[in-house]
Amino acid sequence: MHKTQIEISEQTRQAMVGLLQANLVDALDLTLQTKQAHWNVKGKGFIGLHELFDSFHNEARTYVDDIAERITALGGQAEGTASVVSKTTRLPTYPVDITSGKDHLVALSKTYAVFGKAARAAIDEADEAGDKVTADLFTGITKAVDKALWMLDAHLD
């Protein structure tokens, strides 16, 4: 751990760095999966879905940056290489052979549900550890993920 003037015990900071790191990896994978959908969607509703998936990608990039910066603020080292992501992501594997809008909507819906569940659990874990800032970070992420899930579900109805 790096030195910091943040008044949180080193033990708590280490725990929060571990929590944040697990979610950083998932957020990086989320950006890749949304871009995969953006690049490869075809068929009816193409332009709307193409743009929607790109907006999801851009939003997910903010999660990545916010999480990584919180890791370093707490004295940790953010690990975001492709090899780290491929080894440790908790998200379902995205099917790379799909093209229909519906198939991408279903795949992203599953991914966002898993990501959102982990972020929601992180709120509780950070709150129990007494790190209100990290809990707030995950609250904001969960709010955005819930909105994305609403949009995905609306397209599937």
What is the pLDDT at residue 1?
86
Tens-of-pLDDT digits for all 157 residues of the chain? 888 889 999 999 999 999 999 999 999 999 999 999 999 999 989 999 999 999 999 999 999 999 999 999 999 999 999 999 999 999 999 999 999 999 999 999 999 999 999 999 999 999 999 999 999 999 999 999 999 999 999 999 8
The pTM assigned to this predicted structure is: 0.96
pLDDT of residue 3: 85
Gap between the Cα atoms of 64 and 60, Å rounded = 6
Ranges of H-type helices in the chain: 10-40, 46-73, 82-88, 101-129, 132-156
CATH class, range 10-156: mainly alpha
Buried b / exposed e across 116-134, counting CB within 10 Å, b at 16+?
bebbeebbebbeebebeeb
Q: Is the dihedral of CA 33, 38, 41, 45 positive or negative?
A: positive
